[in-house]
């Protein structure tokens, strides 16, 4: 099943919902960085979160999520942007992909233990103007809850976030996520109903592994709340790095620093973290 994102809303209730399948995206990130299972789950959740944010992007806008934690994973980062009107690109990495902790008491990946305490930074930017940057302390390190707390505290948007990655030593089995947000003037009863449904619904990974698509994920959360579909876009791994950007960075160093580099070492490499 291809990776897709579906955005919908109920304007009468003041609720917007975005659902995404990201199995191939997370699998590509896992393979590129040779991530161990717990690291795959953590980076996959963050990249899925970035992909969900891409539903609200326009033109050259992009969103970046970065976690700085004191756990063994160190720094995690993911970002997403529109490649065209029908496709979003996303990527992710961690400074230490060789992390695989024992399964926790719930039978899930111990992402919180791998992330540790720290902060979540969300940056919204475009090619013009100053970026908007919001930073909040990590709530628990499970990533989905941390994004929900960020939206509530930094952007004053009540939200529901569910993210899931099912991985094993050989690859990614299923990945996806759901993001529901209250619009201005939202019906508090409708939001409470969604929160209750979110607490009862099966894990996202179970639904995706059972072949649920983005529409099925959205309906699982929305239930009887009628949602009007806005758009569907494809999601795929992409990277913004290229030779021209590296050359621009080198030019920005200035002649003296470039000469010093050539004297210090025979070869200088520019490496993309993603």
Domain ranges of the chain: 4-240, 241-274
- Cβ(177)–Cβ(164) below 8 Å: yes
Q: What is the DSSP letter of 7?
A: E
| Mean pLDDT computed over 150-156 | 96
CATH topology of domain 4-240: Hsp33 domain (3.55.30)
* pLDDT digits 0-9 by tens, 3-41: 999 999 999 999 999 999 999 999 999 999 999 999 999
pLDDT at 42: 99
Report the DSSP pairing between strands 171-182 and 75-84: unpaired
pLDDT at 2: 87
What percent of the chain is predicted at pLDDT more than 90?
80
Angle between helices 37-53 and 144-154 (to 10 degrees): 30
- Three-state secondary structure string covering 209-239: HCCCCHHHHHHHHHCCCCCEEEEEEEEEECC
| Mean pLDDT computed over 132-137 | 97
pTM: 0.90
């Amino acid at each position: 099943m291809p990776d897709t994102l579906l955005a919908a809303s109920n304007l009468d209730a003041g609720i917007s919902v975005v659902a995404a399948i990201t199995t191939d995206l997370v699998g590509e990130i896992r393979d590129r960085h040779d991530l161990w299972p717990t690291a795959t789950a953590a980076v996959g959740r963050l990249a899925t979160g970035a992909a969900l944010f891409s539903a609200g992007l326009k033109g050259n806008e992009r969103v970046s999520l970065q976690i700085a934690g004191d756990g063994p994973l160190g720094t995690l980062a993911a970002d997403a942007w529109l490649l065209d009107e029908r496709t979003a690109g996303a990527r992710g990495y961690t400074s230490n992909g060789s992390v695989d902790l024992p399964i926790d008491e719930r039978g899930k990946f111990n992402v919180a233990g791998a992330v540790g305490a720290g902060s979540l930074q969300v940056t919204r930017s475009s090619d013009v103007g100053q970026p908007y940057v919001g930073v909040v302390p990590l709530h628990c390190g499970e990533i989905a809850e941390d994004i929900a707390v960020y939206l509530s505290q930094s952007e004053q948007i009540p939200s529901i976030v569910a993210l899931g990655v099912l991985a094993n030593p050989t690859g990614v089995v299923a990945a996806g996520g759901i993001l529901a947000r209250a619009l201005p003037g939202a019906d508090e009863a409708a939001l409470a109903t969604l929160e209750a449904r979110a607490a009862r619904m099966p894990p996202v990974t179970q639904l995706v592994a059972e072949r649920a698509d983005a529409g099925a994920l959205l309906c699982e959360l929305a239930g009887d709340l009628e949602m009007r579909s806005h758009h569907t876009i494809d999601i795929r791994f992409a990277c913004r790095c290229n030779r021209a950007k590296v050359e621009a960075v080198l030019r920005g160093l200035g002649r003296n620093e470039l000469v010093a580099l050539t004297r210090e070492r025979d070869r200088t490499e520019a490496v993309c973290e993603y």
